[in-house]
Amino acid sequence: MPLLQNRVALVTGAGSGIGQGVALRFAQEGARLALFDIRQASLDETADKLKETGADFECFSGDVSLTEDVARFFDGAVKRFGRIDICVNNAGIGNPPLPLVQMTDEGFDRTIAVNLRGVFLCMRAAGRQMIAQGGGGRIISVSSQAGKSGFAMLAPYCATKAGVILMTRAMAKEVGPMGITVNCVCPGTIDTPLLRGTLDPLLAATGQTLEEWALKNGPPIPLGRIGYPVDVAKLITFLASDEADYMTGQAINISGGQEMH
């Protein structure tokens, strides 16, 4: 029996990278999907891949940092599927890579708006809907190893990801009695357009592949390779399934051992 048969799952940032990986994995496991992204073209790409699987899904475009867009997404999903069982808060951006002393107000504010306010808005909407349904449900957010270890040039990003971990723990305590679990995942170095957007100029200048660069310059990866969206998707699928029904308030690393605390 597929792990998520007929569960209704919402995924933000589903047009690319980890979010697209989650959508495809959830589809394999029988979930019905409501997908959200700020870029319609990216959503179309995910939709094309999903059509091949025969999955039941609907796409919504909008900005996770805007209350009205998030409300439209959740209302639309509930209207289409009748309920919400799983909410994956994945949409996120990197900050312009700069030392904190050079960071602009705009760079800081946008990172907070998307990565922290956006996750808050979706956690709130998911929690309200799950409580209204009578309880039960899974809320899973995508934090980062950057939310556990501070990384140079990424101060606002690190702050948002640490914020996601603490919102996860706080909400887990609030909604545990209603049977809703709230967890987050902390990926390490995952090969996605987001990471490549940051590193491509450097890779072009050094002639290294992403993997060569990461293994040489990043924190050591005991498992000896960088990660791929499917690695994170497998963990999120586990957290969304009944297999994880006694876990809440956790921030789980998925980094090949790059991050261990």
Ligand X SMILES: NC(=O)c1ccc[n+]([C@@H]2O[C@H](COP(=O)([O-])OP(=O)(O)OC[C@H]3O[C@@H](n4cnc5c(N)ncnc54)[C@H](O)[C@@H]3O)[C@@H](O)[C@H]2O)c1
Binding site for ligand X (CB under 6 A): 12-13, 15-19, 37-39, 42, 63-65, 90-93, 114, 118, 142, 144, 187, 189-190, 192-195
Tokens linked to 136 = 């039960």
| Whole-angstrom distance, CA of residue 155 vs CA of residue 146 | 9
To ligand X, the closest distance from the beta carbon of 247 in angstroms equals 20
To ligand X, the closest distance from the beta carbon of 18 in angstroms equals 4
To ligand X, the closest distance from the beta carbon of 177 in angstroms equals 28
CB nearer to ligand X: give 151 or 178. 151
Q: What are the E-state strand segments in 112-227?
A: 137-142, 180-187
To ligand X, the closest distance from the beta carbon of 19 in angstroms equals 5
To ligand X, the closest distance from the beta carbon of 245 in angstroms equals 24
To ligand X, the closest distance from the beta carbon of 31 in angstroms equals 18
| Whole-angstrom distance, CA of residue 146 vs CA of residue 131 | 31
Name the CA radius of gyration of the chain, rounded: 18
Instruction: Give catalytic residues, as residue numbers.
Output: 157, 161
Number of helices (H), then strands (E), in the chain: 9, 7
| Whole-angstrom distance, CA of residue 253 vs CA of residue 143 | 9
Buried b (16+ CB within 10 A) or exposed e, 231-257: bbbebbbbbbbeebeeebbbbbbbbbe
CB nearer to ligand X: give 131 or 153. 153
- Cβ(165)–Cβ(144) under 8 Å? no
| Whole-angstrom distance, CA of residue 35 vs CA of residue 76 | 11
| Whole-angstrom distance, CA of residue 142 vs CA of residue 119 | 9
CB nearer to ligand X: give 133 or 250. 250
CB nearer to ligand X: give 103 or 190. 190
| Whole-angstrom distance, CA of residue 112 vs CA of residue 129 | 24
CB nearer to ligand X: give 55 or 116. 116
**143 Cβ partners below 8 Å, 6+ apart?**
161, 162, 164, 165, 168, 184, 185, 186, 251
CB nearer to ligand X: give 216 or 246. 216
